[in-house]
């Protein structure tokens, strides 16, 4: 079973700053990694799929990179609405189980 480890657990930043979130897989997942944003009381929202493809309607300040075991979600300049918890997720080839990372909370400094 592939384990996803996200770091840091918490990121304290100010609006306008750049956020860099990491997700490391215990074995290669190629490019098959997605990122989600979740705000309190809301369902998760897909940001990135296949490591670097922005989902429909996602602003360009969100970008994803990486392949194999190391992935990064970058928010180029934090907007007030970006303070939330971010999860990475991968899907096994077969059986198609999903694994989520533990999450990174981006909080206002």
Partner 1 sequence: EVQLVESGGGLVKPGESLRLSCAASGFTFSNYVMHWVRQAPGKGLEWVSYISASTSYKYYADSMKGRFTVSRDNAKHSLYLQMNSLRAEDTAVYYCARGDHCSGGVCRDYGLDVWGQGTTVTVSS
Give me the residues that bind partner 1 (CB under 8 A), please: 32, 34, 36, 38, 43-46, 48-50, 55-56, 87, 89, 91, 95-103
Q: Cβ closer to partner 1: 80 or 96?
A: 96
Q: How far is the CB of 96 from partner 1 (least distance, A)?
A: 5
Alpha helices (runs of H) in 9-68, residue ranges in sequence order: none
Q: How far is the CB of 66 from partner 1 (least distance, A)?
A: 15
51: left (phi over 0), alpha (psi -120 to 50) or beta: left
The phi and psi torsions of 76 (rounded to 5 degrees) equal: -65, -40
């Amino acid at each position: 079973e592939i384990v996803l480890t996200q770091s840091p657990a918490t990121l304290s930043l100010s609006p306008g700053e750049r956020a860099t979130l990491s997700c490391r897989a215990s074995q290669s997942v190629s490019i098959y990694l997605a990122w989600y944003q979740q705000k309190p009381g809301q369902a998760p929202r897909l940001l990135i799929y296949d490591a670097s493809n922005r989902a429909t309607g996602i602003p360009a300040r969100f970008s994803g990179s990486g392949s194999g075991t190391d992935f990064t979600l970058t928010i180029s300049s934090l907007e007030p609405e970006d303070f939330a918890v971010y999860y990475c997720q991968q899907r096994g080839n077969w059986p198609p189980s999903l694994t989520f990372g533990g999450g990174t909370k981006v909080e206002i400094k």
